Structures are given as C-alpha cells and as structure tokens.
Amino acid sequence: MTDADGGGEEDEGLALGAIFTDPPRPPSPEPTIAVYENIVNFEDSPSPSPWSTISVRLVGNHPLWGHHLWNAARALAGFLQRSPELYLDRNVLELGAGGGLPGLLTAKCGARKVVLTDYPDKALLDNLTYNVAQNLNVQPPPGCPCPATATVCSVLGYVWGSPVDPLLDALLPVPDTGPAGTSFDLILLSDLIFNHSQHRALLTTCERTIAPGGCVLVFYTHHRPHLAARDMDFFKMAAETSWKCEEVLTERFPPMFPEDSGEEEVRSTVHGWKLTRV
C-alpha cells in the first residue's frame, strides 16, 4: 500500500501505525448496533423485498475506527437510495467498509453483486460477515476461513493499492445468477480520504477495478479542519490522473466528536463527490 508517488515518511510500510497515524481515542463500549431507517416509500423502492431498517453491528473498539457509524456512511446510504440507477443490476465495490452500511443498502436494493472490503483484520471481517448475514438473511458457510457470504454479497480483506485480482475474482459467475461482469460499475469510499498517505493507493485500486462508464462516490467530512486542504488533495490527484470530479451533495449532521477542536460547522458537514473517468 506504499504511495509510489511520494508523500514523505508517512507513506512507508504497510504497518497500521504507518497508515493510521492519529493517536487512538479512548476505548469504545462493547459492540453496539446502529440503525439506518429506510427513507423511501415501499411502493417507490427498487428493493426486491420491502424493508424498514438496516441494523449495523459495530466492533467495540478498533484502531481503524470501525467502531463508529460515520455521518458520511449515513449520507452516502441516503444518496444511494435516491440514486438507484447507479447500482440496480450492477456490480458494487466498497473499500474500507467498516460496518458496511452503504454496500449493504445496495445489496438490499437490487445490486447484482456487492463486494464489501476492509483491512484484512479478523475482527473487522467477522463483523462485516455478521452484518451481511443479519441483513440479507443468509448464513456464511460453516468453517469458511475467508468469510464469503451471500450470493449477492461477499466480504473480503483487502489492502488499498494491492493487486485487484481477488476483488475481480469475486465477480466470477455464480450458477443460476447469470453473467456477473468483470469489473465494478460503482465504487464506494466513505470517510477514507483523511488517510492522506493512502490517496494514491485508493485511486490505484479504483482505476484498476472500475468498469467503462462506472463511477466512484467519495463521501467525507473534514474531521480535522486544519487539514482540510490535505483532504482535498485527493481530488487534485484524481483530476491529474484522468478523473472528472464533481460535488453532488452537501449535508449537515451533528458532529461526530463534539469535543474536538476546529470549527463545528466544518466538522458537521458531509460532502459527497462523484468521480468518473475522462
């Protein structure tokens, strides 16, 4: 996951300490459940079967912040419900999925195949697998060392910028499901660009997996307002490598961490961008 284009000492190595350099917050409670409520009337929903909520279990504490359901994930889920044309009968990849809310929503609302990924850590992947099983009414194969789950939804450990063959292999046709395609029509990035050293790695994975005509949705909050310019370097880098970048949403939420420093309005605002290949 080294950023080949440079970026200083923070880009060296694959260790968690090299990727996520902020000091850890105090431990969170034991695993919790966060609930996302359907914002679309049942009669207007593209979902194959009506649903009212998605329950997302969150690990109790984790250095990769998987113990929070971020405002950006909620905003992205709402945007996806209002934009079913982006994923209906299409392939979806979520990077750094955490609890997996946005990807789970597309699986419930008619995506052809969804691949949820996060850092290859057992606690994160087991939790994602649990959320798939609970929300899509499936059970993972007993004793399966790699938590592949529902036919429509798989869970994989993946390090950004690594070879993408495992991601594309997850799209291999499954009997009785029809052709699955060979790349992803929609890629989801929710609150990832604060990892400044990983911008190039994220874009590399997107470049190698996006289908012609597909798009990447990048939703984020400037959790550290004094570093907002460095967050935005992601889009500068994308524009320099043949991505068209356009902002598609701005939405205000209560701040994730009210005690944090920096202007509260900045820390409370979710921005959503759509990236397409030029």
Average pLDDT of the residues in 201-224: 97
pLDDT band per the 50, 70, 90 thresholds, residue 137? confident
Average pLDDT of the residues in 22-50: 70
Mean residue pLDDT of the chain comes to 85
- What pLDDT does residue 42 have? 56
**DSSP per-residue string spanning the chain:** ---TT--SGGGS-SSHHHH--SPPPSPP-S-EEEEEE--S-GGG---SS--SEEEEEE-S--TTSTTS--HHHHHHHHHHHT-GGGTBTSEEEEES-TT-HHHHHHHHTTBSEEEEEE-S-HHHHHHHHHHHHHHHT--PPTT-SS----SSEEEEE--TTS--HHHHHTTS--TTS----SSEEEEEEES-TT-GGGHHHHHHHHHHHEEEEEEEEEEEE-SSGGGHHHHHHHHHHHHHTTEEEEEEEEEE---S-TTSSS-HHHHHEEEEEEEEE-
CA distance 140 to 270: 34
Q: Exposure string (b/e) for 123-135, b if CB count within 10 Å is 16 or more?
A: bbbebbbbbbbbb
Least confident of 14-23, 29-38, 88-97: 14-23
Which tens digit of pLDDT belongs to each residue from 146-161? Answer: 344 457 999 999 999 9
pLDDT band per the 50, 70, 90 thresholds, residue 181? confident
Report whether pLDDT(271) > 50. yes
pLDDT band per the 50, 70, 90 thresholds, residue 144? very low
Global pTM reads 0.83
- What pLDDT does residue 2 have? 35
Report whether pLDDT(179) > 70. no
Residue 31 or residue 221, greater confidence: 221
Neighbours of 254 (CB within 10 A): 9
Domains, in order of start, for the chain? 9-20+27-277 (3.40.50.150)
Structure tokens at 35: 């609930």
Structure tokens at 67: 């113990």
Report whether pLDDT(128) > 90. yes
